[in-house]
Amino acid sequence: MATNAQWTVVMDDKKIIKQSGDAAGTEYVISDNDFWGLAKWNNIWAIQYGTSNPSDTVEYRDETPHSTWEDASLGDFQDFITRWDSAHLAQLQSDWDNDVIRTYNEDGTIASEESEADQIARKGERPTSYSS
Whether the Cβ atoms of residue 4 and residue 51 lie closer than 8 Å to each other? yes
Residue 129 in any domain: the answer is no
Residue 76 in any domain: the answer is yes
Residue 38 in any domain: the answer is yes
What integer pLDDT is reported at residue 3 of this predicted model? 57
Residue 131 in any domain: the answer is no
Residue 16 in any domain: the answer is yes
In tens, the pLDDT along 87-130 reads 999 999 999 999 999 999 999 999 999 999 999 999 999 999 99
Rounded CA-CA distance 27/48 in Å is: 14
Closest CA to 56 of 71, 42, 44, 45: 71
Q: What is the CA radius of gyration of the chain?
A: 20
Neighbours of 39 (CB within 10 A): 6
Residue 85 in any domain: the answer is yes
User: How many structural domains does the chain have?
Assistant: 1
3-state percent breakdown (helix, strand, coil) of the chain, nearest 5: 30, 20, 50
Q: pTM of the entire structure?
A: 0.87
Print the domain residue range for 53. Answer: 7-123
Residue 25: pLDDT band with limits 50, 70, 90: very high
Closest CA to 47 of 21, 22, 84, 91: 84
Residue 2 in any domain: the answer is no
Residue 132 in any domain: the answer is no
